[in-house]
Structure 1
């Protein structure tokens, strides 16, 4: 607020005079003051009531209930004056003027306040008045700060006043103004502290045309070291600004005004959630956004960066047309580079300031001490630890300043430059024509991915296995009909084929039903049934019986096939249903060609096509076929399995009854990825059922409806739907 001599309006001059008399404690009651100005009494009364309303609003917005009075600390402060006062224990009850006799004009200078004689006013703030005083019992000159009185004295002010005194009293550092005593006397809340002869940093910034780079860095380095001491003692300042940094006659700094301090150890604070406390130009974004209760050490570090910015450029980083505008910029706008306001700022110093002014507290210096170390390194010409923002990050910060982009990403753009607005206009034009562009692009892409590839790869299977035979025959027909390059790669079986499809290493692959268990895969066509063949050898088994009890498998090793084969997966499902655990009957992964070796188990569970040459050869070498017990129960447990029989004609010479050998069967499918080209799937299906058939056991296409619950490729589903009545 302007001083009386600066005021042009008589009402403003009178109101300023009232405020000054309140600060000096020389005013009586409000009515007595208004009586001196009868011609403007009504206007002055309205101003006083407005100030009262503003003060009540500030308290209500803080969301904090009145705390218990903060008593002086016996360890750090002499509390004799507090003890001498008999006015009561609650500071709110002893506000200036609250318990004065009517007509008491209050203190006039010089004024005796216990052992202090107040001599002259040396400073005023929003909450208190600082006097130069003589401490009579120690014969020393000190500063005494008293809370403002009159209409501006409120309970929140008292809490802040005692918070400042108690916070500063617990700190002992040459860069922090020491507090000697605090308490209340004759209705006046006060505390005494060292008197610093000199000026404050804000006045130096205002009075000097430009602070030298070195002086600015040195001032903030020393402030950072003092704040590091406060942080180590669990005290946050939360209102760091140039006006709160005193510079003595020896050019040394001293931090004062801990009125908004927060004790991290007790989580005490004069504000609550929802209050934006501090000075807008220098407060951290988390404070400006109304979350002062979330302030951390990094909040003070942001303020240190803003102070350094002001020392170098002569102005804070972000300045709005109003307090609200400034707060919005602090929360949402990135700070400009210092070089936009002062040419020739060293790159390292700009990097240090940018790190302090990061919006995210985690990106700032982890401590004020680390900031001081980097400023020391800058002053001594050593490399700093902070790193500048990369060009991509700088570009992103500029791009996010475009109003439309900011709205999309949740960043509020307070103001935009002409460049941002031109870019937005071009972007809106692109958005307007983009639907037509993307529709055309989508049509081209769809045509491309659905067309026949120039080179097709099919997965096979184990050497001399049925999968290899099928894939080789499909490849041959594709080459002849489409004139494209087709390759068949040998694999380890169903599970290997599944992974190759997922990795896009192949276009089509035969595999057992249990392997098609990923949403990215689908069925092209059912190929043939694979039957579980339980084979045994040795004298322990009855050659005249096709039956075997599950108990006979217990305690014996069982060969279940190569690791990547579908046969191994089917064998595991069968054994689990029979409650034959691997702990009791170890499952041996072994290649089928090794079954006749001495180290091979005497039991094998093989899932292959009926009439497989592998089974024929094993039977010729002395192995016996046995029925799978409880086949119906097993099929109930596993939907991909079904009870089936092995026909006696398939393996001539084997003692299979004419009714067949009970077993479990599964289906081998030709599978693909869901996004497989439609032209490839269509051509493969037409060639698959083209006469002569690829192999005798191929499941007829009209029977594909039996697997209608399976997830078919869209082209395959349409193909089978249109040929459902074709039984040729």
Structure 2
């Protein structure tokens, strides 16, 4: 490995004779560069702490962690002291370029006497787009707080300063056990704002996600409390608009605390700040309407979507939508329905899948009406009761599918219409044939009835005729002569009548 040049304070243009160092540091240098920086960063009158001395940082009165490379207590980040980081930068060039930003931010923090306002800075615990977050101790007190200080790059931006000041103003009106309280808003001597808030030593949901992955009941319990907190915030007229696992802190008892209201919006008093500053949020956890629509149209349903996305993340270990970059994730969320929970984690309960699906509906009106309704369903699930949410009716799902796929839906609808028309035509022809068949049958039946009636009439007539013939014959027989003399007399009479006529 190529050896780099020795690094001294003078190489970094550090004026060790200035008043800043005169009363704080003993600049008697050690032979090695690591030793020189360790001595430079050591408070005056205190010996250099060896590795064996810092195995228990609490015994030294400040947070001292040894450098993993040389053992120096002047550790600035990523396990190395300032000198080792700089040496690596000189020796490896681009391979260690990522260290430089950390060095620039950390080099000011490691002096144990560095202060912001009335607070002693102990440790950096977070960093965002707007500011740095430190663990700090109030002067003349053992009270530990989290201190958020705006980044100096935003010092000349009136909009950024206004937004930074907006967060503590909004949160100061909220009093809920699951919302991180903000204590005070102050300014440094150079006019840059900072504010202090409750220190949550349990980390974030993002950091705890791995341990929660196989404990769905605890995940649901945490999200239910977050939902209750947002129900309260919405009732006070405040939208969060950037809910994500990294913004949910955990206190010493593991209770969730909603934090980072930097993108919060007031429902009652919209301002120019809301319209002119970005109100985007974090892709993968923001609602589609928040990414594509105007800020004024964002409603509490957007926070409900984000809560559902957090629940999905805790239960499956991944956000609902994935993509190569932020724009791909946003497009995925806008164009496609959210994946079913149990397609990612089949072992989970079906009711949890229904709850997540309802939260992640693309249309705001299809989600839970409020964060309180979501919390109630989560609490019902924890208690083993039936949840209120149910799957949408089949016609509604078909209608939404057709809206998402208009061309395919149109072609399918045309095919269905043609099929229906064909069925109607077949039915009409069958009905007509049936009518004709019924008519023929009726005609045949009538003819048969008439024929039978005619036969009955003929038979009756024959019977009557025969009866009349028999009656006539009987009458003749009754009128016949009773003796031979009478017959002979009749014959003579007939014969004489005939002669007379001749």
Measured in 1, the distance between the counterparts of 2:179 and 2:154 equals 31
Kindly state the Cα deviation for residue 301 of structure 1 after the two structures are TM-superposed. 0.7
1:371 maps to which residue?
A: 374
Q: Deviations over 1:312-352 (max 9, x none)?
A: 11111111221111111222211011001101221211111
Kindly state the Cα deviation for residue 156 of structure 1 after the two structures are TM-superposed. 3.5
- Asked if structure 2 preserves the Cα contact closer than 8 Å seen for 1:276 and 1:290, the reply is no
Measured in 2, the distance between the counterparts of 1:177 and 1:397 equals 39
Q: Which has the higher strand share?
A: 1
Kindly state the Cα deviation for residue 281 of structure 1 after the two structures are TM-superposed. 0.4
1:167 maps to which residue?
A: 170
Q: Deviations over 1:629-670 (max 9, x none)?
A: xxxxxxxxxxxxxxxxxxxxxxxxxxxxxxxxxxxxxxxxxx
1:196 maps to which residue?
A: 200
1:337 aligns with 2:340: yes
Q: Deviations over 1:226-282 (max 9, x none)?
A: 111211111110000000001223221111100000011212374428956100100
- Normalising by structure 2, we get a TM-score of 0.61
Matches within 5 A, 1:51-200: 110-136=113-139, 138-150=141-153, 154-187=157-190, 188-200=192-204
SS at match of 1:373: helix
- Asked if structure 1 preserves the Cα contact closer than 8 Å seen for 2:335 and 2:404, the reply is no
Measured in 2, the distance between the counterparts of 1:180 and 1:333 equals 43
Structure with higher RCO (Cα < 8 A, 6+ apart): 1
SS at match of 1:355: helix
Kindly state the Cα deviation for residue 3 of structure 1 after the two structures are TM-superposed. 7.6
> Comparing 318-327 with 5-14, which one deviates more in the overlay?
5-14
> Comparing 359-368 with 392-401, which one deviates more in the overlay?
392-401
SS at match of 1:208: helix
Matches within 5 A, 1:100-499: 110-136=113-139, 138-150=141-153, 154-187=157-190, 188-205=192-209, 207-208=210-211, 210-268=213-271, 270-272=273-275, 277-394=280-397, 404-405=407-408
Kindly state the Cα deviation for residue 445 of structure 1 after the two structures are TM-superposed. 6.0
Kindly state the Cα deviation for residue 396 of structure 1 after the two structures are TM-superposed. 5.7
Measured in 1, the distance between the counterparts of 2:78 and 2:283 equals 22
For residues 249 and 317 of structure 1, do their structure 2 counterparts lie closer, same or farther at Cα, with a shift above 3 Å needed?
same
- Normalising by structure 1, we get a TM-score of 0.43
Kindly state the Cα deviation for residue 15 of structure 1 after the two structures are TM-superposed. 6.0
Q: Which has the higher helix share?
A: 2
- Asked if structure 2 preserves the Cα contact closer than 8 Å seen for 1:115 and 1:137, the reply is no
Measured in 2, the distance between the counterparts of 1:12 and 1:300 equals 40
Kindly state the Cα deviation for residue 363 of structure 1 after the two structures are TM-superposed. 1.7
SS at match of 1:301: helix
Give unpaired runs (5+ residues) of structure 1: 27-105, 409-426, 456-482, 484-728
For residues 3 and 296 of structure 1, do their structure 2 counterparts lie closer, same or farther at Cα, with a shift above 3 Å needed?
farther
Q: Deviations over 1:272-322 (max 9, x none)?
A: 289561001000111021423321111111101110011111111111221
Measured in 2, the distance between the counterparts of 1:264 and 1:25 equals 42
- Asked if structure 2 preserves the Cα contact closer than 8 Å seen for 1:134 and 1:141, the reply is yes
- Asked if structure 2 preserves the Cα contact closer than 8 Å seen for 1:306 and 1:317, the reply is yes
Give unpaired runs (5+ residues) of structure 2: 1-76, 436-442, 444-502
1:17 maps to which residue?
A: 100
For residues 151 and 173 of structure 1, do their structure 2 counterparts lie closer, same or farther at Cα, with a shift above 3 Å needed?
closer
Kindly state the Cα deviation for residue 454 of structure 1 after the two structures are TM-superposed. 10
CA RMSD of aligned residues (A): 4.1
For residues 438 and 199 of structure 1, do their structure 2 counterparts lie closer, same or farther at Cα, with a shift above 3 Å needed?
closer
Q: Deviations over 1:682-715 (max 9, x none)?
A: xxxxxxxxxxxxxxxxxxxxxxxxxxxxxxxxxx
Measured in 2, the distance between the counterparts of 1:20 and 1:299 equals 38
